[in-house]
Structure 1
């Protein structure tokens, strides 16, 4: 009886293992992305703003470790910052573009059929400011109640926060094509935020739309 029992258990485990191997195999894919960003900065005191448009591009590596779950890491060049609005003086313009090198790491959750999948990426992101550029026609004018930021380069080059969003993946014989929307909320400030400083809060917010191409290396 014991031999039959152990033999049956071994057969069940072997069948389950073979079935698991047939239904899912880990997959590694690498590729590149390009997209558009729309950013602003949450200032306290408030600064009246619109959305600053910029660009992002980078490389992506994704490893689907389990059915419906994987890990994704990226190394991107991204433009973000802020663009001010002057309701009483619409002829004035002011914008600050900050170029970052960023590293997001996501939990990749996906579902769907063989050729079309929906997914959600969620995770932390760190970044480092490479340089910044200002475009303005203000001269010596001070049209808003808060203007100190115009003459202040950012204090903190290190940026960190949380980001994520939904996407659609189409799989073809020449690779995978992904369209994704993403939102980033910085948990750190761009300017010093002690009691004696001007801005208690200066955290970035970024919306982005990205196209990504991935080439599977193995399944």
Structure 2
């Protein structure tokens, strides 16, 4: 089972790297040269959850993200504008466990008397193929996709439960430091860009990050066989051109 999972993860990572490589190759083909270098900053919000096996029920957890963006547009190949983009972001992730109880009607409801939240702060570095369609000045539709690496730089827990009455799953994760600080996966998304002549470029984007790595040990002898992030990000980016 775990052998199959690792093979699938390696295949997804290879596909992501191939996508970025194909974009770079496409830029090397004959096309209308652009030579456009832009830099700027981005900021937005994360909606994060963690895929655990065995499962841990969770509420949606929000956090902030933001950092620096650099993008290089090489050429316009037919109707497609080709480029590459790299970012350096600080990103809040983690999970918020869902506790349930029975009400007076014997219905399952959220239990407000118990809570557990794990806050995890990462430095994210996505390497993205940037493909866009539209006018040089005006509105463009774009797609970004490629591999991402991350480094855990901070973590904290907010625990409001009886530590003497934990489940086996909770005992494995509560009050334990995250052992794997390095995270990697695939990021992909799309959005709209407004390109102006003098004021710069304004982008709004929705993106999903799928982690291929686990932040706890998941060997055959370990309790968890999967512990990986899944993050939806909505962000705004401002870029100004250094070279046109």
1:168 to 189, 192, 200: 192
Quickly say closer, same or farther: Cα 1:146–1:174, change in 2 above 3 A: same
Partner of 2:88: 75
1:149 to 173, 184, 190: 173
Partner of 1:98: 120
Structure 2 unaligned blocks of 5 or more? 1-29, 102-110
Q: Distance in 1 between matches of 2:162 and 2:200?
A: 51
2:64 to 48, 55, 61: 55
Superposition TM-score, scaled by structure 2 size:
0.78
Q: Distance in 2 between matches of 1:144 and 1:120?
A: 43
Partner of 2:26: none
Partners of 2:122 and 2:153 within 8 A in 1: yes
Bigger CA drift: 65-74 or 148-157?
148-157
Partner of 1:85: 98
Partners of 2:33 and 2:74 within 8 A in 1: no
Partners of 1:86 and 1:143 within 8 A in 2: no
Runs (4+) off by over 6 Å? none
In the TM superposition, residue 152 of structure 1 has moved relative to its aligned partner by 2.1
Q: SS at 1:146's partner residue?
A: helix
| Aligned residue pair count | 199
- Provide the aligned C-alpha RMSD in A: 1.6
